[in-house]
Amino acid sequence: MKGKQLHDFLFALFDYADTIAEMIQPETQGSAGEREQAHYANTRYFLTLVYVEWIFDKYARETLYVAAKESGELDPSATLQEANRRLDLLRQRLDHLTHEYDFDADIDGTLDKLAGEWRTAERGTSAPAATSIEPSAQ
């Protein structure tokens, strides 16, 4: 994938982040179990946003600039400026979410679980099987 196709794909990832951010909702309604499920989902959505931010910070801005240049039809400077603007908006949204919700303990637990699953898969036979994003019933 190169040029305009890559450019459009990466900007769609920003749009995806906007959609994910809108899915994070207050966990104040419903039973204790429903609130726990909502918090679990919110934590996963938040981690997705963190990962998208990391991708854009480390790789995508430069890739967008090059893709715009290769396309011959897009302005690389304007593309980079828009990528920086969207990244700033995503960071503002992440900052707002960290003040509105408490993800700290869940993030640590989730990262430990993910790392453990991938370490096991790395040493074992295959990647972990796909699982539901819902918490397991206990």
Q: What is the dihedral of CA 16, 18, 20, 24, to 10 degrees?
A: 180
As a whole number of Å, the end-to-end CA separation of the chain is 44
User: Cβ(63)–Cβ(10) under 8 Å?
Assistant: yes
78-117 tens-digit pLDDT:
999 999 999 999 999 999 999 988 888 788 887 887 788 8
What is the pTM assigned to this prediction?
0.76
What residues does each domain of the chain span? 3-123
62-82 tens-digit pLDDT:
999 999 999 998 999 999 999
